[in-house]
Amino acid sequence: MGLYALAAVLGFVQHGRMAIDLDMTLAQVVDAHPPLARELERRGLDYCCGGGRTLAEACAWHELDPGLTIVELAAAVNDSVAAEWTTMTATELVDYLEATHHHYLRDELPRIAKLMDKIVAVHGERHPELAYTASVFAHLCADLEPHMLKEERVLFPMIRELESSTLMPSFHCGSLGNPISVMLFEHDAVGGLLSELRRLTGGYQSPADGCASYVACLAALAELEANTHMHIHKENNVLFPMVLHMESARNAALQS
């Protein structure tokens, strides 16, 4: 039996101390081995909004050979350690999200917008698709900016209060599951816009006549996609389940 077939039968590959199991969810793969995020993205495997799927389910959905996929993933990185965000408290994690991903977006979105305006002005006549690309990017910015404010001014302060309180705080929204459900819905919308940007740009590939600004803009969009996918993963698959479990445990303790 070949290596790939054997891997498919066994359902895992061990590479040094690193194991990848077909029963692991995509979110668990990234949490255990952060360098594999890009490898999953290269194969179209959505580990952020679709992070609850197992590797086996995702391979089946995308018609990928599961044995070959886990062998390739195991070979893509050497021994790695679990992601730092998996050991953080809820308060530490929201502080980290604001300091890293929110800070990144506030720096990058205006820079990309200027590059986008420039390449539309210079290349728009030869590449009419750029006008729609710019419109989708503007829509993305219009979604992300208020989304971050809602997290920073509403949801994240409530998470900090929940973790620091000995009693169950009374929130105007009732359960934290309510604002979290809104954030999840908005994350799905952002994911859709990122997918559309990738489609419109042919996977962020500059045309033959693209200038340095064109190349820089598409490279920035590719990095924005990767960073935002990781950002959404940390919230959808780590922070939000942690907070909902904390809230449920606190309520159960008060009722006992």
DSSP sequence for 223-250: HHHHHHHHHHHIIIIIIHHHHHHHHHHH
* pLDDT of residue 77 exceeding 80: no
Secondary structure class of 8 (helix, strand, coil): helix
Predicted pLDDT of residue 16: 42
Query: Is residue 79 over pLDDT 80?
Result: no
Query: pLDDT band at 34, cuts 50/70/90?
Result: confident
Across 118-131, average pLDDT? 94
Predicted pLDDT at 80: 62
Residue-wise pLDDT tens digits, 84-112: 898 999 999 999 999 999 999 999 999 99
pLDDT per position as a tens digit, 225-252: 999 999 999 999 999 999 999 999 888 8
The fraction of the chain above a pLDDT of 90, given in percent, is 67
Q: What is the pTM of this model?
A: 0.85
In this model, does residue 4 exceed pLDDT 50?
Answer: no
Of 230, 124, 235, residue with least CA distance to 185: 235
CATH placement of domain 3-82: 1.10.3910
d(C-alpha 130, C-alpha 186), whole Å = 25
Query: Does the pLDDT of residue 205 top 50, yes or no?
Result: yes
Residue 75: predicted pLDDT: 82
Q: Quick one: average pLDDT of 17-26? A: 79
Structure confidence by residue, pLDDT tens digits, 149-159:
999 999 999 99
21 forms bridges with which residues in the sheet?
12
Quick one: residue 174, left, alpha or beta (phi over 0 = left, psi -120 to 50 = alpha)? left
> Does residue 52 register a pLDDT over 50?
yes
pLDDT above 90 for 169: no
Q: Where are the domains of the chain?
A: 3-82, 85-255
User: Do residues 76 and 15 lie in contact, with contact meaning Cβ atoms separated by under 8 Å?
Assistant: no
Q: Which residue has the higher pLDDT, 74 or 120?
A: 120
Q: DSSP E strands: which ranges in the chain? A: 12-15, 18-21
Residue 78 pLDDT: 64
